[in-house]
Amino acid sequence: MPSSDPPCSDHRGSGSPSPISPAEDASAARAEAWQQVRDGLVKLAQDGNEDVARYGDLITSEAACARFLRGAKGDAGKGVAMFRKHLEWRVQYGLESVVHEDFQDLKAHGELYWGGRDKDGVMTLMWRYDKRWANVRVYCAVIRS
């Protein structure tokens, strides 16, 4: 029995492109924005910034670029600058060597503990500053340099 419903008005069968929903439009804009962050970092690496160049896999990661883009409230230029500063900090601080350090004694005394996962699912290791330096109140005095 034929349906009495009116024909669909989304133009999908008529050869005309279907209209883009606001959600699809926003998703496309986000995709373009993280790619702008990635492209800005790749350009810095190509222009000779060694601190950025050593993290090729990280600077091309959608998740990492999107994280800094969120931190910059959607401003791709600011996201690139924030990410560049972060990578330079990683090199200066020697972050890559931290993964090889033995923290068993700190974990045994309750100075370190697994804090769960961040919003991207990355495990976080928390440092209880009050247990390590209970008498120190000037935090800059104990920052590793």
**Is-contact 130 112, C-beta < 8 A?**
no
Same domain, residue pair 60 and 31: yes
Same domain, residue pair 55 and 117: no
**Is-contact 114 123, C-beta < 8 A?**
yes
**Is-contact 124 114, C-beta < 8 A?**
yes
Total domains present in the chain = 2
Same domain, residue pair 74 and 129: no
Q: Is residue 51 part of a domain?
A: yes
Same domain, residue pair 91 and 112: no
- Residues sharing a CB contact under 8 Å with residue 3, sequence separation 6 or more, in sequence order: none
Q: Is residue 29 part of a domain?
A: yes
The predicted-structure confidence for 25-52, as pLDDT tens digits, reads as follows: 566 667 788 999 999 999 999 999 998 9
Q: Is residue 16 part of a domain?
A: no
Closest C-alpha to 82, from 124, 41, 31: 41
**Is-contact 52 41, C-beta < 8 A?**
yes
The predicted-structure confidence for 89-101, as pLDDT tens digits, reads as follows: 988 888 777 767 7
Q: Is residue 115 part of a domain?
A: yes
The predicted-structure confidence for 82-135, as pLDDT tens digits, reads as follows: 999 999 998 888 877 776 777 777 777 777 878 888 887 877 878 776 655 555
Same domain, residue pair 136 and 106: yes
Place of tokens 């024909």: 7
**pTM of this structure:** 0.59
Residue 46 sits in a domain whose CATH number is 1.10.8
Q: Is residue 15 part of a domain?
A: no
Same domain, residue pair 45 and 83: yes
Domain encompassing residue 130 = 102-142
